[in-house]
Homo-oligomer: A and B are copies of this chain.
């Protein structure tokens, strides 16, 4: 309790020691952080966890009317940009909206197929969700609609239990229900400001996961490209490949020739656009062009083909039918729907947030993660009631949107309008569109997800990140999409834990002529201080590492004693622990320090702590351990500790 007086800042916090030979030695006391009640601490802590961006700071010092307007603008960003919207912006948005619509229509149909859903669901999903997002979303460049990974995962998870061919109605019900839960989950994350959960999917994990998923998706498309009728519904590489070769007799050369030609065409346009950013419209227009061309080809050759090339077939004209009555809230498959919703929800959210942030940082505006989550969640919940499946911001379409000059979410409205026209009037045109073209479009879209350059970079910079990446990749390929993801997240977390479990301890030395104490093995000019052992601990001290640190520090002491013996140096008197990097401590850590102190005392060694951070200082104080350290066990810097302890050690000597 003796330290409490130091809470009064400014008084008596420095201590001057006058010696004969040197200038006055100034010793600064280590302060406790300002006294806070448990409630204040909890409030501060919670506000840092849930409101790190201080979302209400705009409302400070405003009139009530302005507060209302600002809140409205905060909740519905459309009120923010709406009033200043003008014709020149609209022109850009119409051009980009039409461009992404030409991409969204074939991709929508393709991704619906990927989720084992009727093709028209893909179009429905490109109509309602973009409109909702236009009202709530804060990214200007996000192109909203079905996305490949979430579609794939939904398809594979539902298909494991319910076959879409055997019970199409139940399958559809489950898909809508999963979409509803995905939206509910996403909106709750945003509302509860738990957006940081998404951060646990590290980039390294995502690179591996996406590459694995892309390969699985591409291989599955061999069904369409080769014209195989009986195909496995499994998602692992081995059953898929064996299914491809097992059904060799079903391969149809007409499909193969046409499919490969269009695949080559699409990949070539993608390659051109990647090389020259200005030619982005080539790859943007290619899918619709391919769809039109292939449909025309099949239409004119229909008498010669004898049904050798499967087509989409008849699609019902008309707007999204309501589907709230198809949601499935009780029964044996509810847990499946919830699980699927959670996983597709988090995956689509990750993609949407990442895409939004990427383009926002290119144009130097901010996207609020929690608000985006609410927007994406609301649009999925609305979507599930209007015959849509999981949607999000797609990376490929958003890039096209950005390159086509989109200025605001109005481009999404234009796209939705185009889809509306298609739904109302153009559905019969898809009757002869061959399935192979959908396969080619999917492959072209997902090939871009294989980012092998990042893997090399990961290997160069961080081997463990690279391992997480590879585990995610092989997990997805060989086991399953969910397990692959779980393994990768597990490894990422394990990496954090490993760092905490086995923290670095480094030997510090003084750089002559300064008060700087640095790693001896890194700085050649740093010198050991005789009679002292100075260790830097580079981690919080937790239950997970307290035993290790205790043993490791005792090993340092043992090694130093051996070194002193060999060199006939002056014997060790004091161990200084530089606590600057010990950013937190728990009860096990405090016990460990206490025990260490006792063990060192038995060897007549003094233990001194230098620069404990506020949180650690407070815990040391509350656990009453500070009393045993007293005034001579705690210093603000290593330099002051060395000076003060030297003085007290050699006092009385000439």
Which A residues are within 8 Å of any B CB, using their own CB? 9-10, 13-14, 26, 28, 31-34, 38, 42, 48-49, 52-54, 196, 199-205, 357, 361, 364, 369, 457-458, 460-465, 492-493, 495-504, 506, 511, 513-516, 518-519, 521-525, 538-540, 542-548, 551-552, 555, 580-581, 583-584, 586-588, 590-591, 595, 598-599, 602, 613-615, 619, 622-623, 636-637
Contact = CB atoms under 8 A, between A and B. Distances in A.
Given A202-B586, A614-B506, A544 B599 contact: no
A203 B587 contact: yes
14 contacts: A13-B524, A13-B525, A14-B525, A49-B498, A196-B547, A199-B546, A202-B586, A204-B543, A461-B587, A496-B500, A496-B540, A496-B542, A503-B583, A580-B580
Contact of A523 (B31, B545, B602): B31
Contact of A202 (B497, B544, B614): B544
Contacts of A458: 587
A522 B52 contact: no
A530 B619 CA distance: 33
Given A196-B502, A199-B545, A461-B622, 11 more contacts: A14-B525, A34-B522, A48-B504, A49-B502, A52-B502, A200-B543, A204-B543, A458-B587, A460-B622, A462-B587, A464-B586
A538 B586 contact: no
A54 B501 CA distance: 17
Most buried by B among A201, A545, A547: A547
A199 B614 contact: no
Given A53-B555, A504-B615, A519-B614, A544 B200 contact: yes
Contacts of A518: 636
Contact of A10 (B32, B48, B457, B524): B524
A501 B199 contact: yes
A469 to B, nearest CB: 9
Copies assembled: 2
A516 B636 contact: yes
Contacts of A202: 542-544, 586, 588
B521 A34 contact: yes
Nearest to A42: B463
B492 A543 contact: yes
A501 B581 contact: no
Greatest chain B CB density within 10 A among A200, A461, A511 is at: A461
A185 B146 CA distance: 47
B522 A614 contact: yes
Q: Lowest 8 CB-CB distances: which A-B pairs, in order? A: A9-B524, A202-B543, A538-B583, A10-B524, A581-B581, A461-B623, A33-B522, A461-B622
B613 A196 contact: no
Nearest to A536: B613
A243 B45 CA distance: 44
A9 B357 CA distance: 42
A590 B202 CA distance: 13
Nearest to A619: B461
B583 A504 contact: yes
A26 B118 CA distance: 72
A298 to B, nearest CB: 46
Contacts of A10: 524-525
Contacts of A587: 203-204, 457-458, 461-462, 465
A552 to B, nearest CB: 5
Contacts of A548: 52, 196, 199
A604 to B, nearest CB: 13
Given A543-B202, A613-B581, A361 B599 contact: yes
Contact of A364 (B465, B523, B602, B615): B602
Contact of A583 (B201, B461, B543, B581): B581
Given A28-B511, A516-B636, A583-B504, A33 B521 contact: yes
A223 B153 CA distance: 52
A34 B523 CA distance: 9
Contacts of A586: 202, 204, 462, 464-465, 495
Residue with the highest number of chain B CB atoms closer than 10 Å, among A203, A465, A546, A583: A583
B543 A203 contact: yes
Contacts of A463: 38, 42
Nearest to A637: B516
Contact of A9 (B32, B462, B525, B615): B525
Contact of A461 (B196, B495, B590): B590
Contacts of A369: 547
Contacts of A200: 543-544
Q: Which of A200, A515, A584 has the most CB of B within 10 A?
A: A584
Given A580-B581, A622-B460, A623-B461, A547 B199 contact: yes
A602 B360 CA distance: 14
Nearest to A195: B547
- A464, A496, A504 pick with most chain B CB within 10 angstroms: A496
A25 to B, nearest CB: 12
Contacts of A598: 361
Contact of A522 (B31, B364, B497, B525): B31
Contact of A199 (B464, B511, B544): B544
Nearest to A357: B547
A48 B523 contact: no
B498 A497 contact: no
Contacts of A622: 460-461
Nearest to A14: B525
A196 B511 CA distance: 36
B493 A497 contact: yes
Contacts of A496: 496-497, 500, 540, 542, 544
Contacts of A514: 26, 28
A49 to B, nearest CB: 5
